[in-house]
Structure 1
Amino acid sequence: MKLLLTSAGISNTSIQNALTDLLGKPIAESSALFIPTAMYAITDGADIARKVICGTLGDPFCKLGWKSLGILELTTLPTVKKELWVPMLQDTDALLVGGGDCQYLCYWMQQSGLAKLFPSLLHKTVYVGLSAGSMIMTRYGTTYGNHTLPAETDKSLGLLDFALHPHLNHEWFPENTLANLEKLAATLPVPSYAIDDQTALKVTGNAIEVVSEGQWKLFTPDKTTNH
């Protein structure tokens, strides 16, 4: 698998270089599909999705100078013939998965059939996550609860054997202090990465590389790594 798990998008040169390396070619020569689904389960989600697509909110994500950019809305896929969207997905260089509600996103990834494609798809296509879009690939996810999904619905896909906690020390998320995230990590059975918005995880196969121009911390049962 080839994944770039970000907290807030392509926020600095180091993260952008990591993306280019995963793509194997310049961004300007690469195609991308943006999945906004998770945003619809948070307040003002539709407007947030518009701003992310237009590049007027947060760090660069959709507005990176892609050769082409399309929108893949997961909630529509169960009613669309697979021959209309699966080949398009297979021909895409990068899948950009926006943030929002992990539980809502996980549900629609499973219901749409996209999650079943990941084992074969992500050998070629680069998965680029933003916040919840990153978290759901790990063993930990959160929810805002602004939906009517069954309570037992999964909050993550668990494809990676660690937890990810984005937006470390961000002013919009005052609860995301290092002390609070350390307490949360202590309740989880897997290693936990706490990352700020200048940090991302580059995952290639079984190899994990922290790409950072900011602050991050790895919590494990045996030791803690701080940067």
Structure 2
Amino acid sequence: MSDAAEFIDEALRRESTWIRAEEARARLGDGLRQYGSSIGAIRGTVRDALRRHPGLAHDEVTALSSELWETPVFERRLAAIVLLQSNVHLLTNTDLTRLEGFVREGRLRELVDPLAVDVIGPLIAGLEGQPRARADGVLDRWAQEPDEWLCRAALMSPLRAFRAGGGDWEAFVRRATAALDAAPESGGEADVVREAVDAVLNEVAKRRPELQFPSSAA
């Protein structure tokens, strides 16, 4: 384990409580282990790690994120997301392959949504030209994937941009329509996708009511 990953892991363990671990297990299920560290402790730990290891370059940040993610512990995986969020300016369209793997393995709203909203969306918003076109193509593919969590990530990714008055509305409508057409009528998979569409539409309705989603696609 790298020095940075070891520091983060040890700090998260120190900040853990069995009560929070039990609460997290009840909320998240048994798919991952839980240390029982608070969200504040996770953010503070990543911040401290970046102070101890200043000037991390792209490859070091992405390697550390994979190292944290590899161990199936919820707090470590959330720390990987916070790390990427703090360094999203270093990421490029080629990092979507790694992030796709994280989404496929995450399979929890508590992991997939911050990955989509706080990492994938800002990453893509910062791209231009050919890298942006390639990234948009990746999201188009995700929206048509049978994996409902990839669909959710594609749909949730522009949420911050829409909140800020930007975002590609036509691309969202295209992806949402494709995802809803492919989703089953009801059940867990449908809920994962429809929740994402509703989350974006609710935000848009509050801030940009002039944008209308086709009623036939809803």
Q: How would you bin the TM-score normalised by the shorter chain?
A: 0.3 to 0.5
The structure with higher relative contact order (CA 8 Å, sep 6+) is 1
Q: Which has the higher helix share?
A: 2
TM-score (ref. length: structure 1): 0.38
Larger C-alpha radius of gyration, 1 or 2? 2
Superposition TM-score, scaled by structure 2 size = 0.39
Between Structure 1 and Structure 2, the one with more strand by share is 1
